[in-house]
Amino acid sequence: MAVFSKVTQETLQNLLSNFNIGELLYFEGIQAGIENTNYFIYTSENNYVLTIFEKLTIDQAPFYLSLMRHLAKRRTPCPLPILNKKKELLQFCNGKPATIVSRLNGRVVENPNTHHCYEIGKALAVSHQDASDFPEVQNNTRSLPWWKQTTPEILKFLPHHKQNTLIDELKDQESFFNSSNYKALPKAVIHADLFRDNALFLQNTQIEKKTGILQEKLGGIIDFYFAGFDTLIFDLAVVANDWAIFHDKDKIGTFKKNELDSLLLGYQSIRKLTSQETEAWPMTLRSAAFRFWISRLYDWYVPREATLLTPKDPTQFERILLKRKSEMKEKPC
């Protein structure tokens, strides 16, 4: 969602002429994220988000947009891609594929409480059920094959001890992916990137009397552009490694027990985990940490130009991975 591609008011006005969503009032770039260019656009009818795909091609993008329409028309709270006057999901903006989606209300919660974790776990399980009959299949593009491809590209930037950590974990993950337990895990098209900044909560001041915890309704889940066919438990592990941990420098990666329990309870209030998923939980938590350590190393050492791009420090997920390796007894209840 960094701004790689600049657009003018004239460009947007021409683009909006292909839609039935009103006249352009104003627009602004969205700084968060590192994959696509995103703008908030405000029209005489409503508010929307324009996404210009910087990596995805005209052949790749429809998968993600079709998934979002599939989920949005069921129970999953997510943006709805808007069809243009020709009933098309994609158009070109500055020579790149682009789409316009509905803008969800809400704010990002930096420090989720147990209620937030329960709600996001519940919504994740709903999305998994809704995706179970999605007819298109595309594997998670940031899974094991990508890890194997990318690791040699970043090793040269790392000190020897980190090279060894990376190589050893890659070997462990390959063994895990080849195990009978892994092959028995339930799969569907998953979000695969549901961090705190990819969910919006409707702000209010309602406090639950018994617990004193702020109760906020989930406004929706955004940014499905890393979605792919993968294990459902991997999606849950990605969420756990961001939503249910301490982010303080001295405690980073350590689970907050109440938040983790709430996340798992929320998920299992909709969909119960299988025995194979419970068994795979510790290793899948490592998989989720490893995936983002590699991608952040790559973005850090092999950056792209962007007007508002801010690569994220890869050290965080290195520490989370090491923490998960020391917690191999952790399993969901």
The answer to the question of residue 19 being in a domain is yes
Question: In this structure, are residues 218 and 199 in contact, taking their beta carbons and an 8 Å threshold?
Answer: yes
* 264 lies in the same domain as 138: yes
* 95 lies in the same domain as 118: no
Residue 102 sits at φ, ψ, to 5 deg, of -65, 145
* 141 lies in the same domain as 252: yes
* 167 lies in the same domain as 239: yes
What confidence category does residue 308 fall into, taking pLDDT thresholds of 50, 70 and 90? very low
The answer to the question of residue 316 being in a domain is yes
* pLDDT at 82 (0 to 100): 97
pLDDT averaged over every residue in the chain: 93
* 138 lies in the same domain as 267: yes
* pLDDT at 310 (0 to 100): 67
The 3-state DSSP composition of the chain as helix, strand, coil percent (nearest 5) reads 40, 15, 45
Instruction: Using a pLDDT cut of 90, give the percent of the chain over it.
Output: 84
Residue 304 sits at φ, ψ, to 5 deg, of -110, 155
The answer to the question of residue 109 being in a domain is no
* 186 lies in the same domain as 255: yes
Domain stops at, among 54, 77, 102: 102
pLDDT in tens, 84-132: 999 999 999 989 999 999 999 999 999 999 999 999 999 999 999 999 9
Cα distances (angstroms) measured from residue 292 to each of 169, 203, 251: 13, 29, 19
Instruction: Using a pLDDT cut of 70, give the percent of the chain over it.
Output: 93
Its sign, for the CA torsion 291, 292, 293, 294, is positive
Residue 29 maps to which CATH number?
Answer: 3.30.200.20
* Residue partners of 135: CB distance under 8 A and separation at least 6: none
Alpha helix stretches (DSSP H) within the chain: 9-16, 61-72, 114-131, 144-155, 160-177, 180-183, 232-243, 257-268, 275-301, 315-325
Residue given tokens 């790392």 in the structure block? 158
* pLDDT at 285 (0 to 100): 98
Query: For the chain, what is the radius of gyration of the CA atoms?
Result: 20
Which 3 state secondary structure label does DSSP give 246? Answer: coil
* pLDDT at 211 (0 to 100): 73
Q: What is the mean pLDDT of residues 243-263?
A: 95
User: Which of 58-62, 143-147, 158-162, 327-331 is the least confident region?
Assistant: 327-331
* 201 lies in the same domain as 248: yes
* pLDDT at 40 (0 to 100): 96
Domain stops at, among 82, 102, 122: 102
* 178 lies in the same domain as 86: no
The answer to the question of residue 332 being in a domain is no
* 228 lies in the same domain as 144: yes
The answer to the question of residue 330 being in a domain is no
Distance between CA 152 and CA 166 in Å, rounded?
Answer: 10
* 135 lies in the same domain as 259: yes
Question: In this structure, are residues 220 and 78 in contact, taking their beta carbons and an 8 Å threshold?
Answer: yes
The answer to the question of residue 189 being in a domain is yes
The answer to the question of residue 108 being in a domain is no
* 179 lies in the same domain as 53: no
Question: Both tokens of residue 119?
Answer: 């709600």
Distance between CA 4 and CA 34 in Å, rounded?
Answer: 9
Residue 276 maps to which CATH number?
Answer: 3.90.1200.10
What confidence category does residue 3 fall into, taking pLDDT thresholds of 50, 70 and 90? low
Cross-strand pairs, 38: 51
* Structural domains in the chain (count): 2
* Residue partners of 197: CB distance under 8 A and separation at least 6: 32, 33, 108
DSSP 103-153: PPP-B--SS--HHHHHHHHHHHHHHHHHHTT-----B-TTSHHHHHHHHHH
Q: Which domain holds residue 22?
A: 9-102
* 98 lies in the same domain as 129: no
User: b or e along 162-198 (b: 16 or more beta carbons within 10 Å of the residue's beta carbon)?
Assistant: beebbeebbeebeebbeeeebeebebbbbbbbbebbb
The answer to the question of residue 314 being in a domain is yes
